[in-house]
Amino acid sequence: MAIFSSSQNVVTASLDLSNYFSKIDELSHTFKAMDNARKNAFRVPHFNLEKDRYVIFSDVHKGNGQKVTDDFRHNEETYIDALDYYVNQGYRLILNGDIEECWKFEHDTIAGAYADTAFRAEQQFIEQGHGFYMRTYGNHDEDWANPLKVKSGLHTVLKYPIEVHPAISLGDKILIAHGHQGDLASDRISTFSRYFIRRFWKPMQQLLRVKLDGKLARNYSFGSHRERCLYQWAVANRQLLIAGHTHRAVFHPHECVASDHYINLGSCVHDDGITGVEIDRGEIRLVHWASDKKRNVFKRADLGNLLARL
């Protein structure tokens, strides 16, 4: 028994050590990928903290318009109502990755499902003038890292030429990036992940009628390893990082040190609505739009004071 117990302890220790080095490896890859995203970020000219208004959404996952396989469909009207509100209030729109579900569907299929609805709502911002519509790419819409695919897949449906960036900088201290950078499944082996989602997950989802995730729209606690990797990068670079990817909205200013450097937008596929972030003339807010068209503020903070503490 003693020999078995000792062997079991060795195996357990080996697994723990493997897990430890795996996390260290992801942190290293995250730092390298985020450094590259920041280096190649689009820098918004003349960002004015006291006057500008921005709304940021991520993880829309526009699909084929079908009830089971399209994780966005149930929030389509909520998304359009929110965008109508923001364009009428003079906000600029930033879409922070995974806006189209290109892992599961072809570009033409997505465009056909939402050309007259969600894409039209986005198009209103482009029509306001230069700088009112900006985008980054995530893992599920990494196709938009290729300008030729942007031209063939987005220009036609949006009816205007646009650019999609690895990240967006507002001033010197705010970086907006999707947050998949350095993640094993979503970045480093994304080709395999895309194949698995297209060939196996999509048919399984249709057969079993299961959702992408069943998260509710709320202000979650900080804690996953992906979040910690992004947070540590933001601290090391004295940035306020606004990310998506995890579908877990996170914003706790002054309550925990992590949220002085890291905010997560949540997603537009929550069971009970969509979440996003508003930057509004010196204030920053995590907001929830419910299916009854009500806008709720989860948390707010003075953006100038937050940036001063970085």
Q: Is residue 273 part of a domain?
A: yes
* pLDDT under 70: residue ranges of the chain: 1-24, 257-258
Q: How many domains does the chain have?
A: 1
**pLDDT reported for residue 12:** 38
**pLDDT reported for residue 22:** 57
**Whole-number Å distance between alpha carbons of 270 and 65:** 16
Q: Is residue 99 part of a domain?
A: yes
Q: Is residue 53 part of a domain?
A: yes
**pLDDT reported for residue 210:** 77
| pTM (two decimals) | 0.90
DSSP state letters, 154-174? IIHHHSS---EES-EEETTTE
Helix (H, G, I), strand (E, B) or coil at 110: helix
**pLDDT reported for residue 18:** 45
Q: Is residue 167 part of a domain?
A: no
Domain that includes residue 117, residue range = 42-122+138-162+190-237+266-310
Q: Is residue 25 part of a domain?
A: no
Amino acid at 232: Q
**Whole-number Å distance between alpha carbons of 249 and 228:** 14
**pLDDT reported for residue 19:** 54
**pLDDT reported for residue 9:** 44
Q: Is residue 195 part of a domain?
A: yes
Contact 69, 63 (CB under 8 A): yes
Q: Is residue 94 part of a domain?
A: yes
**pLDDT reported for residue 20:** 45
Give the ranges where the chain is alpha helix by DSSP (H).
2-39, 76-88, 107-114, 118-126, 147-150, 156-158, 190-196, 202-208, 225-236, 303-308
Q: Is residue 12 part of a domain?
A: no
**Which residue, chain included where needed, has tokens 């465009």?**
111
Q: Give just the sign of the alpha carbon dihedral 210, 178, 66, 269.
A: positive
